[in-house]
Amino acid sequence: MFFGNKIVARANLWRRVFVNNAALNVVPSQINYSGLACCAQNKYLFNNGYLKSNTNVSYLVPLHRKWYSKGLVEDTNNLTVQHGKVQKNITELFPLPRVTLNELTSKTPSKIFEIHYKQNTVAPKGRKKSTANNDWTCTYAFVWPEKIKFESTAISKRKAAEKAAIQAIHWLYINKRIDAKGQPIYDKVVLQNIKEELNEPIHITISDKSIERIDKIWKDYESGIKDIYEATFKESRHKVINSPAVLTKDSTIDEEDDYMDEDSVSNAVADTSELKVQVHPVYGRKISSPSASALERRDRALSKKFQQYDETLTPLPIDDFRKQITSTLSKNRVIIIVGAAGCGKSTRAPAAILRECGADARVIVSEPRRVAAMGLAERVASEMGEEVGESIGYQVRLHSKPPKPPGGSILYCTSGVLLRRLQTNPGLQGCSHVIIDEAHERDVNTDITLLLLKKALDLNEALKVVVMSATLDTGVFTSYFNPCPVIEVPGRTFPVEVSYLDDIQKKIGVGLPFTEEVCAKEDGRPQVKCQEVAELIKVIDSKEKEGAILVFLPGWSEIKLTKQLLEEHYGNSPMHMILPVHSRLSTTDQAKMFSTPPQGVRKIVLATNVAETSVTIPDVVYVIDSGAHKENRIKEGTGTASLETVWVSLASAKQRTGRAGRVQPGHCYRMYTKEKEAEFAPHSTPEILRIPLVQTVLDCKSYAPDEKIANFLSQLPEPPSDKSIQFAVNDLIDLGALTPSEQLTRLGSLLSTLTLHPRIGRSLLHSAIVGNVVAATNAAAHCCTHTEVFVSAPERRDEIREIKRKFSPTSDYSALYWIQDEFERLNQEGGRQASDKFCEKYGLRGDRLGFIRSISLLHLEQLLKSSMIAPMTEAEELNRFSDIDELTSGTLLSGADSLLMTRRHVKTKGKLKTVVDVVTSTGDRAHIGSESVNKDVVKRHNVPVLLCYFGGQHSAERRALVAYRTSVVSPHAALLFQAGGVSQNDEGDNSVLSFKKHRFSINVPKSQADKLLKLREMLWKTFDYYIERDVMNIIFEDNEKVKHFKVRLIKTVGRVLVEAHREYVEGKSRIENIEDYG
């Protein structure tokens, strides 16, 4: 059992862990306490791990005196000089002894002393005289660390208590029972022994029926299947992968985009035709060379369109620079355009190139977000008086409307699409110009694209490159492309007054002491006190003229608290609109910020850095800049992503300030000092320098299969550190995607065809083998997009958690899958009306459920087109076991290789007690997000709990890894599906099974341990066989034999997992006659 028979009762726990002094030290030293009376009955001394009963009596005084009292000494001046010094020091350490003792008892599990008061009475001589009340006596009667009394008499009750408390503190301190802060002192050795007893190994068993099934399939495995597997492995070892699979990654920033409506999503089809043949980089398909007459007709058509274009165009600042841009580009192969927000560079610069080059222009414009690519294409097409898909088109994930050939075209696309073009066509033959927009964001895709474009310039002499940004570190890019010209375009903005922290406090008269203290710290992290932000908002609202207030805050928690404070102040005032802006909110909620309120109504927008460049709120006049934002960083030592609150860059601060001057002169209130601003970095740190590089490194092998990773990445504008590169390479080697010499393995080649993190990609490959691919693709879609399918999720976390528990009480991934399944079933059977009713009932977003479905279908299509799935594979084989949630969690674990576990330990800070925490399987602190169905897992189970998860982020505030979606798995699932080696150590009739990568072990009866290890071997050998086999050269008889064996194997694994889940996770009795699945 988890608690163990050797664990002492909680009431006695604290007695075991205090320092155990020798018996002679119980009595105060005769030197310091000459003439003092003391008798101590020590019944709770703990020695060598055993509880003893020991009575220790001092013979310095008569036995009937069971107290320690300075009152027994005629004069305190008789104490030695040494004692006087000690007393003075202790009095200085503990100026409030009674308070110290009260705090001490609050830190122990039970009451350690009682206080008794008595007023001495004196009966005077004579009958007529009444009894007189005299001095008070106070006695502190301790039961810990031993039975001892401290007594003192004084003229008042308070003074008597004060003196007795000083005596008690004095004795506790010199006997090392408390430290200089009044904290109890614990024995570290005893604490460690208790910790070891609290977390005993996990004990598991399997049923006789499962043992019987394992024995049967093991015979089949030994009698022929094993030979087929070994022959396949031997053949694969002799193969060298010379041509990696085509990359299909898309933009890493898409997860924050708005989503298409449900109808367009449901009809969207991923364009994967280019995976098989080289396509034209602009038109997305193979085209023949155009004739001269066709190009002439195209030139004439463009000339007419641009005549109308000039007549209807709304002037923008960049229009004055059109000729300078085209003339400079005609003389140079690379130029940089630095244009302030609102200057029109994203729409007018591509159109200027199209006008200048005519039918010879075949332009690609790369955007970091799909919503931007689609919106800009529609805007430019509208300005030219045509529909999208004629001269102007777009291609993004799940949706494509490319322009029509033969020439004179512009394609807006995401950076992921451009990377795919560069992989299949390294020189971008057929493309005349590439424009990289929003380059200042410096996401990974942008940096990799710049590297590949630099190589493409050498391969294609006709290619020209334009790099555009609102704010750009021009020095980095001009030197990267060899000195190239820079064209600076001013924005269309009004002047903005800037007030720093000192000015805010003096001129406006609002006190911001906490913010001032934060700014005064050297190299300190930013901290935002929402109460001070709210106060500043209220003052601006009361003193300034009309105009929206835009407040930049680091994250949702700050937005939520500030919103709450403002709502408490303004109540239901119709004169105020308080609007949060965050990527997790619904499109409808976010759209409210663009609406213009009625006259006299103040709009207050609380936003993250998404409002810096991605979103423009037209009526903003006042900006409050907290100076902080959240940024992903790499946690040193683990290589995991850590979401940290950091100071913004100078470029970001400038962008935030500019938001106040879009419609009229504005004012920016910076909640930091000029001195703190001087410490800001000039520009934001490129993403490639602050995120884990596992996925990037695998992508690099698709771009340059024969080049060392470090060498390839060293060619970036700002290369990542060797340490972060090596960490990613080691992770991929551990995963099996790379060889130690950094060559792609067969698994690595398959993973590079999937738009997924490599670890989730391996889970998906395993799901195709297990036969639960539909459930796995749904889980993969949630893992890679982080899509929130619930309406107003940040404000409904408790409600959403309970809704998910109705579909699966122990797994977020299974709950989301069954929600998706029910949504699609209702949509198919009852149409849109039925699915809308379902969404309304649970507060779901139908458009995002449709988006998840499309992403799942994309992953499924990529999987089917991979070379792992044989052409004759039936759909039933791929989805036979999707209804077994335990298998879904198992396949996720097989790739993610990440476990959390509950652990009991002794809490010594505050009140001494045993607590249950969540940690990673390597012992690091962890926390389960409040939206997870397993949020309170430590309270719901009396046994150690294991949970699989993917991703998560290290929180600097919590100093722990935070996992937002988890699944409880049984120890049996961990044993079978956990990657890496398992060691076996036999101890009598039991075997202890330990994992090389994880700090926990499982105790199994020896005979059953052998069966489980055999089942594990068969499962992983089957995984390896299906991944390594050559589907074009399969022997039919072998394929049929393995297929039937695999079905029986998965049925047995499923039975073991379902039995274990019922018994170990749900706490129910084992059912021998569990149905056969499939």
pLDDT digits (tens, 9 = 90+) for 105-123: 887 777 889 999 998 877 6
In 97-110, which positions are buried (b, 16+ CB within 10 angstroms) versus exposed (e)? bbebbeebeebbee
Residue 566 burial by Cβ neighbours in a 10 Å radius (0-12, 13-18, 19+)? buried
Please give the Cα distance from 703 to 720 (Å, whole number).
Answer: 17
The residues with which 394 forms a beta bridge, in sequence order, are 401, 412
Residue 608, pLDDT > 90, answer no
Is 176 in the same domain as 217?
A: no
Residue 884, pLDDT > 70, answer yes
Residue 212's pLDDT is 95
Is 336 in the same domain as 416?
A: yes
More confident residue, 794 or 770: 770
**Position 910 confidence tier, pLDDT thresholds 50, 70, 90:** low
The residues with which 641 forms a beta bridge, in sequence order, are 634
More confident residue, 667 or 616: 667
Residue 363, pLDDT > 70, answer yes
Q: Tell me the two tokens of residue 971.
A: 């120890």
Within a domain: 1073: no
pLDDT digits (tens, 9 = 90+) for 527-540: 999 999 999 999 99
**Position 333 confidence tier, pLDDT thresholds 50, 70, 90:** very high
Is 655 in the same domain as 572?
A: yes
Residue 1070's pLDDT is 61
The label of the residue with tokens 């309120």 reads 597
Three-class HEC string of 876-945:
HHHHCCCCCHHHHHHHHHHHHCCEEEEEEEEECCCCCEEEEEEEECCCCEEEECCCCCCCCHHHHCCCCC
**Domain at 454, CATH number:** 3.40.50.300
Residue 84's pLDDT is 58
Which residue range(s) make up the domain with 501? 496-685
Is 300 in the same domain as 397?
A: yes
Is 95 in the same domain as 131?
A: yes
Residue 33's pLDDT is 32
Please give the Cα distance from 641 to 649 (Å, whole number).
Answer: 20
Within a domain: 941: yes
Residue 589's pLDDT is 62
Is 452 in the same domain as 507?
A: no
Residue 454's pLDDT is 93
DSSP class per residue in 993-1041: EEESSSS-EEEEEHHHHHHHHHHHHHHHHHHHHHHHS-GGG--HHHHHH
Please give the Cα distance from 410 to 391 (Å, whole number).
Answer: 6
Residue 987's pLDDT is 86
Within a domain: 1035: yes
More confident residue, 710 or 866: 710
Is 20 in the same domain as 53?
A: yes
Residue 988's pLDDT is 85
The residues with which 149 forms a beta bridge, in sequence order, are 141
Q: What percent of the chain has pLDDT over 70?
A: 82
Is 429 in the same domain as 292?
A: yes
Contact 136, 119 (CB under 8 A): yes
Residue 24's pLDDT is 30
What amino acid is encoded at 845 in this protein? R
Angle between helix 758-770 and 773-785 (nearest 10): 170
The domain boundary, picked from 464, 489, 514, lies at 489
Residue 15's pLDDT is 43
Q: If you average pLDDT over residues 332-353, what whole number do you get?
A: 90
Residue 372's pLDDT is 83
- Kind of pairing between the strands at 496-499 and 666-670: parallel
Q: Which helix (H) or strand (E) holds 142?
A: strand 132-142
Please give the Cα distance from 858 to 877 (Å, whole number).
Answer: 19
Contacts of 475 (CB under 8 A, 6+ apart): none
Within a domain: 186: yes
Least confident of 333-337, 423-427, 750-754, 793-797: 793-797
**Position 270 confidence tier, pLDDT thresholds 50, 70, 90:** very low
Q: Kindly tell me the sign of the dihedral angle through the C-alpha atoms of 341, 347, 348, 353.
A: positive
More confident residue, 51 or 404: 404
**Position 636 confidence tier, pLDDT thresholds 50, 70, 90:** low
Residue 642, pLDDT > 50, answer yes
Please give the Cα distance from 433 to 463 (Å, whole number).
Answer: 6
**Position 26 confidence tier, pLDDT thresholds 50, 70, 90:** very low
Residue 690's pLDDT is 85
Residue 278's pLDDT is 67
Contact 606, 580 (CB under 8 A): yes
**Position 13 confidence tier, pLDDT thresholds 50, 70, 90:** very low
**Position 997 confidence tier, pLDDT thresholds 50, 70, 90:** confident
Residue 261, pLDDT > 70, answer no
Residue 764's pLDDT is 96
Contact 801, 935 (CB under 8 A): yes
Q: Tell me the two tokens of residue 144.
A: 């810990």
Q: What percent of the chain has pLDDT over 90?
A: 49
Residue 934's pLDDT is 94
Q: If you average pLDDT over residues 77-97, what whole number do you get?
A: 66
Q: Domains in the chain: how many in total?
A: 5
Residue 614's pLDDT is 54
Within a domain: 606: yes
Cα 496 to the center of its chain, rounded Å: 37
More confident residue, 940 or 257: 940
Is 193 in the same domain as 213?
A: no
Residue 942's pLDDT is 74
Please give the Cα distance from 114 to 795 (Å, whole number).
Answer: 48
Residue 637's pLDDT is 60
The label of the residue with tokens 């399918």 reads 789
Least confident of 67-81, 334-348, 504-518, 542-556: 67-81
Q: If you average pLDDT over residues 658-673, what whole number do you get?
A: 89
**Position 512 confidence tier, pLDDT thresholds 50, 70, 90:** very high
Residue 966's pLDDT is 95
Q: Can the peptide bond before residue 124 be classed as cis, meaning omega within 30 degrees of 0? A: no
Residue 343's pLDDT is 85
Within a domain: 788: no
- Kind of pairing between the strands at 982-987 and 641-647: unpaired
Residue 28's pLDDT is 36
pLDDT digits (tens, 9 = 90+) for 847-859: 899 999 999 999 9
Q: If you average pLDDT over residues 456-484, what whole number do you get?
A: 86
Within a domain: 262: no
pLDDT digits (tens, 9 = 90+) for 190-225: 677 777 677 677 899 999 999 999 999 999 999 999
Residue 164's pLDDT is 94
Q: If you average pLDDT over residues 488-502, what whole number do you get?
A: 87
Residue 76's pLDDT is 36
Nearest of 412, 371, 363 to residue 388 by alpha carbon? 412
Is 535 in the same domain as 602?
A: yes
Residue 89, pLDDT > 50, answer yes
Q: Tell me the two tokens of residue 250.
A: 């898309």
Q: If you average pLDDT over residues 451-462, what whole number do you get?
A: 93
Please give the Cα distance from 893 to 978 (Å, whole number).
Answer: 6
Is 227 in the same domain as 332?
A: no
Residue 871, pLDDT > 90, answer no
pTM of this prediction? Answer: 0.78
Least confident of 127-131, 748-752, 856-860, 954-958: 127-131
Contact 500, 673 (CB under 8 A): yes
**Domain at 156, CATH number:** 3.30.160.20
Within a domain: 862: no
Longest CA span, the chain: 140
The domain boundary, picked from 729, 744, 759, lies at 744
Residue 40's pLDDT is 37
Q: Is 577 helix (H, G, I), strand (E, B) or coil?
A: strand
Polymer length of the chain: 1078
The domain boundary, picked from 198, 225, 258, lies at 198
Residue 22, pLDDT > 80, answer no
- CA 831 vs CA 261, 790, 848, 865: distances in Å: 16, 20, 17, 31
Is 332 in the same domain as 365?
A: yes
Please give the Cα distance from 607 to 558 (Å, whole number).
Answer: 10
- CA 301 vs CA 289, 430, 860, 1030: distances in Å: 19, 21, 42, 52
Nearest of 930, 933, 937 to residue 802 by alpha carbon? 933
Q: Kindly tell me the sign of the dihedral angle through the C-alpha atoms of 542, 543, 547, 553.
A: negative
Q: What is the mean pLDDT of the chain?
A: 82
